[in-house]
Structure 1
Amino acid sequence: MSVRSALICAAALSLSALPAAAHFQEILPSADVLPEGGKVTLDMLFTHPVEGAPVMEMRRPARVGMVLNGTDTDLSDKIAPHPVPGGAGWQVSADLEDPGAAVFYVKPQPYWEPAERKFIVHYAKVVVDSYASGEGWDALVGLPVEIAPLTRPTGLWTGNLFTGTVLQDGKPVPGATVEVEFVNDGRVDPPNDAFVTQVLKADANGTFSYAMPLAGWWGFAALVEGDAPMTSPEGKPVPVEEGGLIWVKATDMAAKRN
């Protein structure tokens, strides 16, 4: 059992009686940069990254795709189950044979959150740069809610400032709420709940910034209310929380050895 799987098991037991917290749709690649191109595998999970659990029910994604060099490729037929302790996960792989930054994304099916009496639909994406090209990283997928990166989201050092703009239907969202969490592998024990989810407000242009203080994967979730309600399991109209997520990896800077 991996370190993260063990943490998920332990966290699921300790958090089972707690109220709902920040949900994050993960889409995490095996690498953010492929210096020589090649295969990349992406894991998809709907969970609380810092706490490691609970793992929410994630049905087979409605669509998984890749935008590369102006082409949107549907990878949905390559989705495979990838269960983890406590819940269902999914996985997809792709071969990046040409240079360029591939923007992978997932459109999940709506998740019913009974504790909050609403549906949650979080559209998530991550950039993988093939051959460390440094090109195409700012390409937009065209998701209903999406974060447009103003900082290149690959090849970032720990402590770098990540900046992005929140878009809804392609337009900036002034004052949008952005939640931030990192994938905790057991290195950090938050002092209390206030440290689990960082919360930002975008400015009047929908732009936000955050400096990543720890190496690893960081998720930025821009949250807005959907335009139309959905019908709850009880047959009543309920609100929809739509999220636009981007995942960014920070890497520690190592001193050169003489």
Structure 2
Amino acid sequence: MKPAEVTHFTMVFPGEDMSVKPEDFIATEVGETKEIIIAWGHPYEHVLFDCPENLQVHVRKPDGTTLELTPTETTIQGHKAYKVSYTVDQKGDSLIYVRLVAPEHGLIDYTKTFIHCGLEQWKGWDADVGQEVEVIPYTRPYGMEEGFVFSGKALYNGQELSNATVEVEKYHQKERAEEIVSEAEEKYPYDPPMMYTRVTKTNSDGDFSYTLDEPGIWYVGATKEVEVGYPRRGVFQLPILEEFPTSSESGSSTTGQLAGVSSTLVYSAIGVAIIALIIAIVAVRKK
């Protein structure tokens, strides 16, 4: 079986459209309804294709119960996509997971993401939902800033998936994608896609880690090659926040601290000079 076209990903966006942002993965209160878009394509280059029809969508709630969601067909940027609706009814982390079969691309794709709800209700994000190939995060997938390391374990039928290829790719909005793809093609003409899809591997225990160095939506997927049938890939999709506090804020704070130190030194010097002057005047009068 030939390797899958690995740059295709199942994109699961809880923000109603393709202009997804990290805040879309947060439900501010119980009872909030999320309209989730499911699209198929290349996240980095923002190239979409018609989404395959063979897909299943489920959610694992924070208490461990599961619910099947019924996708309905829609159109995104001229291509077939799907959408589902989910109302958050518990605090904690609801895991949305999708199974998609793409015969024309030679791949069975298992994608998982989350919706978080509740102050310090950090439960459920590392649950095993029973996908054939699945990424179990070691790192909580929210509250992560650019430059943080995402680590996890890849499983195949519940067992460690060792020595497997792990693809890491960032999603871009259409305008930005066109700009950076053009730049990559100009700067790295010998192999532009090496800049699109980053690659690492799992170790003998199925563990891996990778630094996600930019804010935005990221895909981390481990692939199991099989002797018969399509390769299977398990993907975890997560948002990465901008640096906090930002460099400008840190810089302002540092500048303020330095200014305070400088002022203290100036006043100290003036004080020493005044004392020296007084001592000199007294000495002259004694003479």
Instruction: State the TM bucket, normalised to the shorter chain.
Output: 0.7 to 0.9
Is 1:59 the counterpart of 2:59 in the alignment?
no
Question: How far off is 1:254 after superposition?
Answer: 4.5
Given that residues 143 and 169 in structure 1 are in contact (C-alpha distance below 8 angstroms), is that contact kept between their aligned partners in structure 2?
yes
Given that residues 128 and 154 in structure 1 are in contact (C-alpha distance below 8 angstroms), is that contact kept between their aligned partners in structure 2?
no
User: Residue 114 of structure 2: which of 113, 123, 127 is its match?
Assistant: 127
Normalising by structure 1, report the TM-score: 0.79
Given that residues 54 and 102 in structure 2 are in contact (C-alpha distance below 8 angstroms), is that contact kept between their aligned partners in structure 1?
no
- Identify the residue that residue 194 of structure 1 maps to in structure 2: 194
Aligned-partner SS, 1:220: strand
Q: Deviation string for 1:89-113 (max 9, x for gaps)?
A: 1111211122010010111134323
Is 1:87 the counterpart of 2:93 in the alignment?
no
- Identify the residue that residue 116 of structure 1 maps to in structure 2: none
User: Residue 14 of structure 2: which of 8, 16, 29 is its match?
Assistant: 29
Count of residues paired in the alignment? 221
Given that residues 73 and 81 in structure 2 are in contact (C-alpha distance below 8 angstroms), is that contact kept between their aligned partners in structure 1?
yes
Change over 3 Å in CA distance of 1:64–1:40 after alignment to 2: same
Aligned-partner SS, 1:112: helix
Q: Percent identity?
A: 25
- Identify the residue that residue 147 of structure 2 maps to in structure 1: 159
More strand by share: 1
Distance 2:143 2:38 in 1: 22
Q: Deviation string for 1:34-93 (max 9, x for gaps)?
A: 2323122221111010011142442152x21100111011112xx122212242111112
The residue type paired with residue 222 of structure 1 is A
Change over 3 Å in CA distance of 1:46–1:153 after alignment to 2: same
Change over 3 Å in CA distance of 1:21–1:72 after alignment to 2: closer
Aligned-partner SS, 1:252: coil
- Identify the residue that residue 5 of structure 1 maps to in structure 2: none
Normalising by structure 2, report the TM-score: 0.72
- Identify the residue that residue 16 of structure 1 maps to in structure 2: none
Unaligned runs of 5+ in 2: 16-23, 185-191, 254-287
Change over 3 Å in CA distance of 1:39–1:155 after alignment to 2: farther
Q: Provide the aligned C-alpha RMSD in A.
A: 2.0
Is 1:174 the counterpart of 2:167 in the alignment?
no
Is 1:150 the counterpart of 2:153 in the alignment?
no
Structure 1 residue runs of 4+, over 4 Å off? none
More helix by share: 2
Aligned-partner SS, 1:88: strand
- Identify the residue that residue 212 of structure 1 maps to in structure 2: 212
- Identify the residue that residue 224 of structure 1 maps to in structure 2: 224
Whichever of the two has the greater Rg, that structure is 2
Given that residues 25 and 114 in structure 2 are in contact (C-alpha distance below 8 angstroms), is that contact kept between their aligned partners in structure 1?
yes
Aligned-partner SS, 1:109: strand
Unaligned runs of 5+ in 1: 1-19, 114-118, 230-239
Aligned-partner SS, 2:49: coil
Distance 1:246 1:82 in 2: 24
